[in-house]
Amino acid sequence: MKTSRKTLFTIILIISLSVLLPCGAIVLNFAFANDFTKCLSLIMCLTGYNFFVRTIIGQTVTFFLRNKNHFYLESAWLRPKKFEKPLYRFLKVKKWKKHAVTAIPEQFDLENLPLETVVKNMIQAELVHLIIIFAVLIPILFARQTVFPCLVVIGSVFSAVWDMQYVILQRYNRPKIVRLMKDLKT
**pLDDT value, residue 8:** 79
Task: Name, in order, each residue with C-beta under 8 angstroms of 149's C-beta and a sequence gap of 6 or more.
Answer: 143
**Closest by Cα among 17, 18, 183 to 115:** 183
Phi, psi of 65 (to 5 degrees): -105, 5
Residues of the chain with pLDDT under 50: none
**pLDDT value, residue 3:** 62
**pLDDT value, residue 2:** 59
Distance CA 118, CA 110 (A): 7
Residue 100 DSSP SS3: coil
Do the beta carbons of residue 164 and residue 133 sit within 8 Å?
A: yes
**pLDDT value, residue 15:** 82
pLDDT in tens, 86-115: 999 999 999 999 888 887 788 888 898 999
**pLDDT value, residue 13:** 83
pTM to 2 decimal places: 0.85
**pLDDT value, residue 166:** 94
